Amino acid sequence: MLTSRKLLMTAAAAALLATPALAQRGADGQLNILYWQAPSIQNPYLSGGTKDIESSSLVLEPLAYYNETGAMVPALAAEIPTVENGGVSADLTSITWKLKSGVVWSDGSAFTSADVVFSGDYCMHPEGGCNASTNFTDVASIEAIDELTVKITFGVAKPFPYGPFVGTTVPIIQKAQFENCMGAKAPECTEQNFGPIGTGPFKVTEFKANDVVLYDMNESYREEGKPHFSNILFKGGGDAASAARSVLETGEFDYAWNLQVEPEILTQMVAAGKGIVVTAFGTSVERIMVQSTNPDSALGDERGTVKHPHPFLTDAAVRKALSLAIDRQILVDAGYGAAGQVTCNVLPAPAVYASTANDWCKTQDIAGANKLLDDAGWVRGSDGVRAKDGVRLSLLYQTSTNSVRQGTQALLKQMWGEIGIETELKNISASVFFGGDQSSPDTFQKFFSDIEMYTNNFDGTDPEKYMNSWTCKEIPSPANQWLGNNMPRFCDPAYDALAVELSTTASLEKRAELAKKMNDMLMEYGAIIPLIHRGGVSAHAVTLGGVKMNEWDSELWNVKDWHRINPS
């Protein structure tokens, strides 16, 4: 008896010692997440916005993610292919991904290269209405070399071949599940779109569109002991301020996303001690586009086209004065707090692309701005507004409806009033401003005002597509149904030449140099006035650990590592 007792004890001791301190999968119970824009679909290829892409990233995974510093980390791939390790061909026309072995879908079936090929075909289908189709530009073919190897061949040399399947906007979906959902049938597969089978740490158990999604942990997830949470309640709806309140003051939720509220509100809420605000900076810049054509409605069909230059914004002195008169730090303090930084570049990040040549804009200089305008011949009239040759400096300033943006508008109106420029403020509902409605005169492409303000950014870490926005052929006009990205109608052959050079350069340092040059060109000319480098702001409970706020990919990219910190 003694021996059996000893045996039992040794066995127990051995068991305790043998298993490392691996917590049980799902030991931490339920995680509550609140996104104040509710998810409306779980298929990121048909998504209605960032919230759908982020919520589905709990279930679906790509071949590689961008981590919080912007570097690529493999997810379903075994490693990142590069020219050095032979994964990318020397002529830059193909890339070969090796997949991790032993990965299974949450329904138990094996994950193979056939699923990767299928995902590519799904998104490239012409009738599918796939959101991420630009990630697949120039793809000639995607073929499965064997069960665990995929080769993507491009029609041209791609210095940056990581468009397909890198990042949560282009994950791998299961061929068996989505097989009958190709092309025009894609939106009709409601069951699949609401409950995709994935390889990620969670799976969808219940989906109520525009309301709430319930997830359970994926029992077949490839990493042992992860995820730490057994299920997730992902609620949507409301507004940013009440989302912040629910994490920071009432503690009802563990994580809230995109808290676009005034900083003093957040500071006051953080004082309750229940939560922490986290910020991360990506490539988002809130900027002012300066119109170089005449938006006067008297010009009829020719308004806003290059046929008629702008009456006063073609004067370089006016453009520079507008930028000099702005105290950007006040704009940051009033609307963004820790979630914003003053920036003088339209290309602020990653760090290698950030130019320092334009830092004169960081200090407000009212006297200098006034002098510039005086020297250029703009004389103040009796109403305080400057004029020259009968042209008054009166701006129509438009942006989308958003309380922080309206605050920025009010502040800028006052600042420009000090240098003798009159401003009329206009705000347009976001669904109209950012929509592509051909019949509406208020879209940001038509730009029928003197200046407009909004935020833009680019996916991933490579700025080539982004910088191409300001080439001459991207000017929106009636000829191309106003579908262009060059809102200020900036056109410079030297800039276009740099863009061509960028598309054929492979070395990272050279690319950085070119991109900086292009940025500096835009800043010198004054076609764009950058205001604030915006970061993402989210909040999580103090008891939630492992959060690595990420602006380069989904914020939930590492949810498998999140765990509950128990108060010791």
Residues 512-531 that bind another protein (CB under 8 A): none
Which residues sit opposite 74 in a β-bridge? 64
DSSP assignments along 173-212, one per residue: --HHHHTT--GGGGGG-HHHHHS---SSSEEEEEEETTTE
Minimum CB distance to another protein smaller for 114 or for 270? 270
Q: How far is 268 from 272, CA to CA, in rounded Å?
A: 8
- Which residue matches tokens 């109608």? 489
Locate tokens 């040059």: which residue?
A: 517
Choose which of 33, 46, 332, 539 interacts with another protein (CB under 8 A).
46
Q: 465 burial class (0-12, 13-18, 19+ CB within 10 angstroms)?
A: middle
Burial class (CB in 10 A: 0-12, 13-18, 19+), 384: exposed
* Residue 553 tokens, joined: 């990919």
Q: Which residues face 276 on adjacent strands?
A: 540
* Residue window 368-407: x/- pattern of binding to another protein, with contact defined by CB under 8 A: ---------------------------------x-x--xx
Region of 75-83, 88-96, 249-257, 359-367 interacting with another protein (CB under 8 A): 249-257
Scanning 172-180, 314-322, 477-485, 547-555 for contacts with another protein by CB under 8 A, the matching segment is 477-485
* Shortest CB 289 distance to another protein, Å: 13
Contact partners, residue 40, CB within 8 Å, separation at least 6: 48, 49, 51, 52, 209, 210
d(CA 31, CA 499): 46
Q: Which of 221, 312, 433, 525 binds another protein (CB under 8 A)?
A: 433
429 binds another protein (CB under 8 A): yes
Q: For residue 299, count other CB atoms closer than 10 A to its CB.
A: 14
- When asked if residue 294 is in the footprint of another protein (CB under 8 A), the reply is no
Is 245 a residue that touches another protein (CB under 8 A)? Answer: yes
**How many other C-beta atoms are found inside a 10 Å radius of the C-beta of residue 244?**
27
Nearer to another protein, 38 or 72 (CB): 38
Q: Which is nearer to another protein, 38 or 88 (CB)?
A: 38
Of residues 326 through 345, those in contact with another protein by CB under 8 A are 330, 334
Select from 9, 13, 49, 107 the one that contacts another protein (CB under 8 A): 49
- Gyration radius (Cα) of the chain, Å: 26
The vertex-441 CA angle with 303 and 395, nearest 5°, equals: 65
Candidates 86-94, 96-104, 139-147, 455-463: pick the segment binding another protein (CB under 8 A): 455-463
The residue (of 47 and 106) whose beta carbon lies closer to another protein is: 47
Ramachandran angles phi, psi of 145, nearest 5° = -75, -45
363 sits near another protein (criterion: CB under 8 A): no
Out of 252, 422, 520, 561, name the contact with another protein by CB under 8 A.
252
Considering only residues 100 through 139, tell me which ones interact with another protein, judged by CB under 8 A. 126-134
Site string for another protein, 1-40 (x = CB under 8 A): ---------------------------------x---x-x
Measured at the alpha carbon of residue 446, what is the angle toward residues 503 and 530, in degrees to the nearest 5?
Answer: 60
Binds another protein by CB under 8 A, chosen from 410, 494, 506, 565: 410
Binding mask 58-97 for another protein (x = CB under 8 A): ----------------------------------------
